[in-house]
A and B are shown apart, each in its own frame.
Chain A
Amino acid sequence: EAGVTQFPSHSVIEKGQTVTLRCDPISGHDNLYWYRRVMGKEIKFLLHFVKESKQDESGMPNNRFLAERTGGTYSTLKVQPAELEDSGVYFCASSFVGPYPNTEAFFGQGTRLTVV
C-alpha cells in the first residue's frame, strides 16, 4: 500500500515567485495535515483538513499561504509570493477520522523549500 506521497521533494525558487506543494494521502484517510519545520526549530502545525473542509487552519502563518483539498483527495499548498522566511521542510500527514488510534498520523518524506 502506498504511503503519504509529497512532491516535489526539493524546490528552489526566488523570492517573489510562486510555489505549489502537493500531498497525496494514504487512500481512505479523510484527515490530512500540513506541518512546517523552519531550520533548527520545531515542526509546527499549519492546518488540518477533514475531507475537503478546513477543520483547523490556526497555524497558517499569513495570507500568502493557500491550502486546498479539492474532492477530499490530494491537497496542495501554494505560497504566493514566497519570502525568504518561508524556507523550510513542509510535511504532510494523513490519518483516519475518529478517536485515537484512528487518528494516528502517517507522514510523507517532506518537501524542502528554499527561497533565495
Chain B
Amino acid sequence: AQSVTQLDSQVPVFEEAPVELRCNYSSSVSVYLFWYVQYPNQGLQLLLKYLSGSTLVESINGFEAEFNKSQTSFHLRKPSVHISDTAEYFCAVSKISGNTGKLIFGQGTTLQVKP
C-alpha cells in the first residue's frame, strides 16, 4: 500500500519570496510521483510529474520538484512566488507496476501568497 504525507497544511509567504512545500511518501513498490494544483473555484490540474530519469522536474510556471529516493520525498519549490500562485497543492503517487491511473493523495497544502 502507498501513503503520502504533506507536512504543512498551510504555508503563508510574501510575494517574490521562495517557497517549499514538503511531501513524503511511503510505498513498498516503485511509484510515479505527482504534484496537482487546485486554484480557487477550479478543478485539479497536473502541475508536474516524476516518471523516471532526471530527479529534478520542472513546470511551465516556474515550480520544480526533486525526487529523493533515499528520503522518499518529492518536495515542491519555487524561487519567487506570485500572487497568482495562491492555491491548494496536492502531492500524489501512483504505483508503476500494473498502473491503472489510481492516485493516492496527500492532505494538501494551501499556499497563501501575500502582497
Chain A interfacial positions (CB closer than 8 Å to B): 3-4, 31, 33, 35, 37, 40-45, 48, 55-56, 91, 93, 95, 99-101, 103-105, 107-110
Contact = CB atoms under 8 A, between A and B. Distances in A.
Interface residues of B, number: 26
B45 A107 contact: yes
A100 B41 CA distance: 28
Interface of B: 4, 9, 32, 36, 41-46, 49, 51, 90, 92, 94, 96, 99-108
A55 B99 CA distance: 12
B56 to A, nearest CB: 19
Contacts, number: 65
Contacts of A41: 107
B94 A100 contact: yes
Given A100-B51, A107-B43, A108-B43, A45 B104 contact: yes
Contact of A33 (B96, B99, B102): B102
Contacts of A42: 4, 105-108
Contact of B43 (A4, A31, A56): A4
Contacts of B108: 37, 42-43
